[in-house]
Structure 1
Amino acid sequence: MKPIIQIDQVTKEFKGRAAVDNLSLTIEEGSVVALLGSNGAGKTTTVSMMLGLLLPTKGSVRIWEGNPQDRAVRNRLGAMLQEVNVIDGLTVLETIDLFRHYYSRSLPLDHLLHISGLGAEKNKRASSLSGGQKRRLGFALALAGDPDLLFLDEPTVGMDITARQQFWETVRGMAANGRTIILTTHYLEEADSIADRIVVINKGKLIADGTSAEIKASTNRKTILFTAGAHLTEDQLASLPCVNDVTWSGRKVKITSTDTDQVIFAMVQRQLDIKDIEIHAGGLEDAFQFLVQQ
């Protein structure tokens, strides 16, 4: 696969502080990449530079070997950003149709209304839509030019379950047709289910890059879930061997460990007041938390 995006030793500073710090990254054609990081990690700044909305302080960003600000480049990409600004007075239909005419190649209006689930709202003023409906409108606008490269920045925030399911079905269809998709999200289960590559940024630096399975395996952490009895104490759990983290949610407890066999053995040996024990391989969220806390 040939590279579409090439980020070479990019730094972006704001008032002397590096939001992105010497970042290098290559993204190939047809890949679905989840760009993960905590708030303030540099994800949105990185996406903004790829879109040409911000210029690097140092280094270079190239898309199809061109400048992200070039009209020919922008004509082939779409972006669904966190904020959707609509033009006062225009209906949903008029807003989508206006955006279609910004591109040399565009999807049919009826198709955009269908995949965004806004057919029933097409004659409403765009400014009167709910938060979730505006997110779906943002998706329609991002797809208006039938993009080869699609950026999705926290795309499902505010969407209900039905809209979210329809959204991901559409995105999976685009990925299956060879479109390149860059995704940022705090819903790690979404990244885990759709992305073929996970990139983790922390404090502006690249700290992990691989498939979801590789990211999860690299931390070598599993979780033990159980129900705590009335006599179990936090001190008893804290004294167990090989415990990295303990989380209580009412009487439900989750222990994260690099050696669940030793933890279970110690629990049984000490006859702790627990029941309903389950052991799970570490998920993407567990791996992510481990990586960003290093």
Structure 2
Amino acid sequence: MGSTVTLSPLARLAGVRKRYGNVVALDGLDLEVRGGEVLSLLGPNGAGKSTSIALMLGLATADEGRVQLFDRDPRELEGRRGIGVMLQSAGIPETLKVRELLDVTRSYYANPRSLADCVALAGLDGLLERRYGRLSGGQQRRVQFAMAICGRPRLLFLDEPTTGLDIEARQKLWAAIRELVAEGAGVVLTTHYLEEAEALADRVVVVNGGRVVAQGSVAQIRARVSQRRVRCVSALDAAAVAGWPDVIAATRDGERLEIVAAAVEAVVYRLLSGDPTLSELEVTRAGLADAFVEITKEAA
């Protein structure tokens, strides 16, 4: 039998503490990012996500603990050549054309992606001769994505990558991210669109108060919340339904009743008994958004 090879994580934080004055940003945080996966880093504002990324990028140093990028200090140039970064604030010269921006960025790498590849992956058809400052916000985001991937990064940091994109452009970017991961790249994704994390993440890490409070697959994180959502068209009084056993909340949206319940069977039975005209009954499990709210509430 052959031996099992365990690949080192692409980036690792081990027991990391970081303070800014009296504020504890990270409090003994452990985190690993592996190749061939999308790791979605979730948490409320001020939870420690940005600090974690700054440490992995070598833009900040830990007060305690260990930070590694490709088994090196993140501040070493050799390690940083293996990453691609798409941050929310880009600081890109507005007078340059898209082609010029990509040419300059590609020149930093020994074996860059071809210009045609960058254009195809980021959906930049017809934009190469346009000046960056003349592009829409969504088009600028796509250029930033192209710049982040043109060095064939082994590890890609995407901070709110689809802000300002329409649904079609967002789907295209998701497809490009999946393609990069299939090639073996690791991706660290921070996003406020929880459906984005749900669509892309292989692993979710929820951070709160500078600590990891939950981690696992989307299904594992979702399973921590046993709630179900029940929607139906019904004339029943929402306030009365909210008082039933197992009902956590009940609200009305026009003719539609929306119920969050801890256990749905008894609630559904009572709904059907109480309103023979009830229609469009729909039961869904908790999404990542529900789990995220629940977990961060518990942690607080």
TM-score range, shorter chain: over 0.9
RMSD over equivalenced CA pairs, Å: 1.9
Q: Does 1:132 align with 2:132?
A: no
* Residue of structure 1 equivalent to 2:239: 235
Aligned mates of 1:164, 1:94 — CA distance in 2: 24
Q: Does 1:101 align with 2:107?
A: yes
Offset of 1:273 from its aligned partner? Answer: 8.0
TM-score, normalisation: structure 1: 0.92
The one-letter code matched in structure 1 to 2:128 is K
Which ranges in structure 2 are unaligned for 5 or more consecutive residues?
1-5
The one-letter code matched in structure 2 to 1:238 is A
Offset of 1:165 from its aligned partner? Answer: 1.6
* Residue of structure 1 equivalent to 2:187: 181
Offset of 1:57 from its aligned partner? Answer: 2.8
* Residue of structure 2 equivalent to 1:280: 284
CA contact under 8 A between 1:75 and 1:104: conserved in structure 2? no
Offset of 1:81 from its aligned partner? Answer: 0.9
Match 1:54 to one of 50, 54, 60: 60
CA contact under 8 A between 1:91 and 1:122: conserved in structure 2? yes
- Between 134-143 and 252-261, the greater mean CA deviation after superposition: 252-261
* Residue of structure 2 equivalent to 1:155: 161
CA contact under 8 A between 2:24 and 2:210: conserved in structure 1? yes
Q: Does 1:113 align with 2:119?
A: yes
CA contact under 8 A between 1:32 and 1:194: conserved in structure 2? yes
Offset of 1:249 from its aligned partner? Answer: 3.5
Identity %: 36
**Residues 177-256 of structure 1: pairs in structure 2 closer than 5 A:** 177-229=183-235, 232-256=236-260
Which ranges in structure 1 are unaligned for 5 or more consecutive residues?
none
- Between 173-182 and 244-253, the greater mean CA deviation after superposition: 244-253
* Residue of structure 1 equivalent to 2:39: 33
* Residue of structure 1 equivalent to 2:295: 291
Distance 1:38 1:247, change over 3 A: farther
Distance 1:202 1:254, change over 3 A: farther
Offset of 1:85 from its aligned partner? Answer: 1.7
The total of aligned residue pairs comes to 292
Aligned mates of 1:81, 1:290 — CA distance in 2: 28
TM-score, normalisation: structure 2: 0.90
Offset of 1:248 from its aligned partner? Answer: 4.2
The one-letter code matched in structure 1 to 2:263 is D
Offset of 1:19 from its aligned partner? Answer: 2.3
